[in-house]
Structure 1
Amino acid sequence: MTTIGELIKDLRTARGWSQSRLADELSKSAGTTIAREYISRRWESGRHEPSPFWLRHLSAVLDVPLTVLEHDSVKRRTFLTDVAATAIAPVVASDLIAEGFSARLKNAGPSVDDWEAKLATYGTDYMSFGAADIQRRLANELVVLQQQLDQPRLWSVAARLMTLFAKTFPGSDGAKAVTWYRLAAEAADRSQDEEAMVWVRGRASLALGYEGASLGVARVLETQASAISDKPSNGLLNAVWADAHIKALSDDQDGARQALLQAQRLFEKAGSEEPTDYAIPWWRHNVHISLLAARLGDEKVALKAQEDGAAAIPESMPRFHTHLQMHRGLMMVRAGDRPGGIATAQHALDLLPPEKHSLTLRMLMNEISAPVPAA
């Protein structure tokens, strides 16, 4: 379960605030001074929890409901939609604005069926195209779609497109990625489509867990996805994989292995061979096993998953071969060969054309090349 300290850190980071800035905002809100070191050494370190007095002021300055900061609420069904500050899309150009107004003034745009066809196309394209290309295209689509949100099916389309859009930002930059995940969850709720509600949360938590970013927020998303429905689905499978990666990165190896077993059982019921980001085919399932096993130091499991995954990845999706090769680099680093592991991973990344790169691959490279923490 997410700790209060982790949530405070993620919420602070989502606003782009330093610990000093949070201390200043709290001091102004409370009318009494609180030091940066208090936030750092007591709250975010997990050594002490904020008192009810400070919880109220944290709620006010971080602009989230008080229940977000209360321990037990993290396990409740209600999704924490206010886990980040608001942010705007990075693409604010005159042609996008004009197209949006044009669609509204003409009261015209693609039909619901057309939008769902676009949704299917983006699910496939995301697997092959680079982040920059997808981001530009989706920005244009979202400007038009927001003028047509007058029925639940369109809110469901919007929720999934917004989730893909969020994935074009690094999860470590909570002011963008996490905010778009929040908006996607709100859109899914508006659609009243339970499958979309689970998928958006599950996919968002998996993206953050795979990247090793904003783990406090990822935990909340995963928990809420699992609470909405326990019906086998791709969304729930995403959430279980997210749980496995989060636990591995939090040094809960036993918990990560238990989640792996759960994911393997669920895959038998919810796996799909569709080549889209909305599904987890056999080869992609093995990509997840490969990374998780590399993070856990289970070389035998990782190598088997890499062999099975590499044999089935479609030729049109070379980026996932790169994932597997970089996982080998991570294994080498975890085994003690840091120079060799970094070189292996960098070589794999260099072989992939830059336009095919994803932010996830870049963040994986950062994880592999990160300095070894001092003992």
Structure 2
Amino acid sequence: MVGEIIRELRKARGWSQGRLADELSAHSGANISREYISRRWENGDTTPSAFWLRHLSAVLDVPLAILEDDDVNRRKFLAHTAAASVTPIIASDLLAAGFSARLDDLGPTMDDWQAKLVDYGTDYMTKGGAEIQRRLAVDLAVLQQQLDKPQMWAAAAWLMTLYAKTFPGSDGNKAVNWYRMAAEAADRSGEDDTRVWVRGRAAIALGYEGAALPIADRFADQALALSERPSLGRLNALMGKAHSAALRGDRASASALAEEGRRVFDRAGSYEQTSDYAVPWWRMNVFLSLLAARLGDEQLAGEAQEQAKHELPEELPRFATHLEMHRGLMLVRSGDRTEGVRQARVALDALPASKHSLTLRMLMAEVTDAAPSRV
């Protein structure tokens, strides 16, 4: 456990194992190698001695208790990881929010947090990721002070999942770490729906981005094992796992998972149209559109794109851009790389820069790098 904490805190600071070794050697006056940190500490073979724990505490800027105690207080870990995951420009906001929450024993009520969840679900669909990330960081600093009830852990899990989505899953660090903490927060809530939803949402986010696919599969498998009841969490897990299979070239599994996802959608799909927490018919077809493009299934891609465009709310132009870029990917997969890349680029450039998302930029890279389908 101590090795995992060292690794997470090191990554949160953006340090390599070599950088950590250099910092420790300079601070302690004793030499330690990158290999020792990797093979002995972070792999769990050896627990750092009291001497090294003191210096780790200093260079990583965390209380010694976080490194000494295997049963880590997750509120402390959350606070330190949150502080390392946001830009310094909002440090003042975070400090003010955290101290205000501590000084005000009452703080926001559960009803207040539920209202915030609703607002964030809608805002994520229409506003830029940078703005959402900043607001979420401040609210998480406040909520971190109130994690004394299961319902608060549930609210934290939902907000942390959304916060994870403001980082690219491909960076192998921040997004995945936040999804993992969101899953743990969901477990502490004791709410099965939340536990399934958080893991399913992580699976579809990573699967749609084409990032950290083994982790996407792991989250999906956990969600599917927790409950067989039709739900949005299960739907997201199935579609995330379907995208992961498609990207691995496993057409049979991708198609079977998508078909099961359709059946779950028929029983659990959303009427809410403009929330990130919802999966209405148009959004289900956005999932299917990209999946079909990845599989090189031109007929399914065209049908899904038409269905999605028919019901897509006008106030969500970013998703219309997704569909046009899926068309570009489909063209590349069919062998017309020049036209496919051109169409995807035109669609992305037509969307105001303030509406761009990390996912769209990753999708553009996928179109550019895609190879023609062998089918």
TM-score interval, smaller chain: 0.7 to 0.9
User: Is the Cα contact below 8 Å between 2:325 and 2:347 reproduced in 1?
Assistant: yes
C-alpha separation in 2, matches of 1:371 and 1:257: 20
Structure 2: gaps (5+ residues): 1-7, 20-32, 49-73, 75-80
Structure 1: gaps (5+ residues): 1-10, 32-55, 64-80
- Aligned residue for 2:69? none
The root-mean-square deviation of aligned C-alpha atoms, in Å, is 3.0
- Aligned residue for 2:301? 302
Identical residues among aligned pairs (%)? 57
Amino acid corresponding to residue 355 of structure 1 in structure 2? S
Amino acid corresponding to residue 144 of structure 2 in structure 1? Q
User: 1:310/1:14 Cα in 2 relative to 1: closer, same or farther (>3 Å)?
Assistant: farther
User: Is the Cα contact below 8 Å between 2:203 and 2:217 reproduced in 1?
Assistant: yes
User: 1:95/1:14 Cα in 2 relative to 1: closer, same or farther (>3 Å)?
Assistant: closer
User: 1:179/1:333 Cα in 2 relative to 1: closer, same or farther (>3 Å)?
Assistant: same
Is 1:90 the equivalent of 2:89?
A: no
- Aligned residue for 1:352? 351
Superposed displacement of residue 28, structure 1: 6.2
- Deviation per CA, 1:94-142: give whole Å up to 9, x if none: 1221221111112132110110011011111111112111111111111
Q: TM-score, normalised by structure 1?
A: 0.78
| Pairs within 5 Å for 1:1-375 | 25=34, 58-60=43-45, 88-92=84-88, 93-274=91-272, 275-370=274-369, 372=371
C-alpha separation in 2, matches of 1:29 and 1:272: 46
Superposed displacement of residue 58, structure 1: 3.8
- Deviation per CA, 1:331-366: give whole Å up to 9, x if none: 011111111111100111111111111111111011
Amino acid corresponding to residue 125 of structure 1 in structure 2? D
User: Is the Cα contact below 8 Å between 2:17 and 2:37 reproduced in 1?
Assistant: no
- Larger-Rg structure: 2
User: Is the Cα contact below 8 Å between 2:270 and 2:281 reproduced in 1?
Assistant: yes
User: 1:25/1:223 Cα in 2 relative to 1: closer, same or farther (>3 Å)?
Assistant: farther
Q: Which has the higher helix share?
A: 2
User: Is the Cα contact below 8 Å between 1:91 and 1:139 reproduced in 2?
Assistant: no
Amino acid corresponding to residue 119 of structure 2 in structure 1? T
Amino acid corresponding to residue 340 of structure 1 in structure 2? E
C-alpha separation in 2, matches of 1:215 and 1:14: 19
Superposed displacement of residue 144, structure 1: 1.1
How many equivalent pairs are there? 319
C-alpha separation in 1, matches of 2:330 and 2:18: 37
C-alpha separation in 2, matches of 1:146 and 1:91: 18
User: Is the Cα contact below 8 Å between 2:97 and 2:139 reproduced in 1?
Assistant: no
Superposed displacement of residue 328, structure 1: 0.2
